[in-house]
Amino acid sequence: HPRDPFLCYDPYSGDIYTMPSPLTSLAHTKTITSSAVCVSPDHDIYLAAQPRKDLWVYKPAQNSWQQLADRLLCREGMDVAYLNGYIYILGGRDPITGVKLKEVECYSVQRNQW
């Protein structure tokens, strides 16, 4: 479930630990059904809530989640990827009509802007 803690594995130590989901603060809403996740080369974890427009980043050095600029479209069943300082959100469906989405959203990590 999107509000459940994340299980994390440290390949260097072999430890498994949990970290809280940023979506726990949104527990009062039933609109979050899942999340899509990707990791940057700097080990930052990016989480996109579905079907909402939320985008979050977990910074391991600070051990904290930060909410970023809202995505442009609500989607469900989407994919998320990190490449050269950008987060790409693609595919999925409109959560109301069920129509497949062809648009690709591109987020600049440096500018916090879509």
CA 111, CA 13: separation in Å to the nearest integer?
34
Q: Output the pTM of the full model.
A: 0.79
Assign a CATH topology to domain 28-108: Thrombin, subunit H (2.40.10)
Comparing 102 with 16, the larger pLDDT belongs to 102
User: Domain segments of the chain: what residues?
Assistant: 28-108
pLDDT number for residue 2? 55
Which structure tokens are listed for 72? 């442009």
The answer, yes or no, to whether the previous bond of 51 is cis (omega within 30 of 0) is yes
Provide the β-strand partners of residue 80: 89
pLDDT tens digits for 1-34?
A: 556 677 777 788 998 877 777 766 555 455 555 7
Other residues' Cβ atoms within 10 Å of the Cβ of residue 90: 15
Which structure tokens are listed for 104? 């690709």
| For the chain, counts of helices (H) and of strands (E) | 0, 9
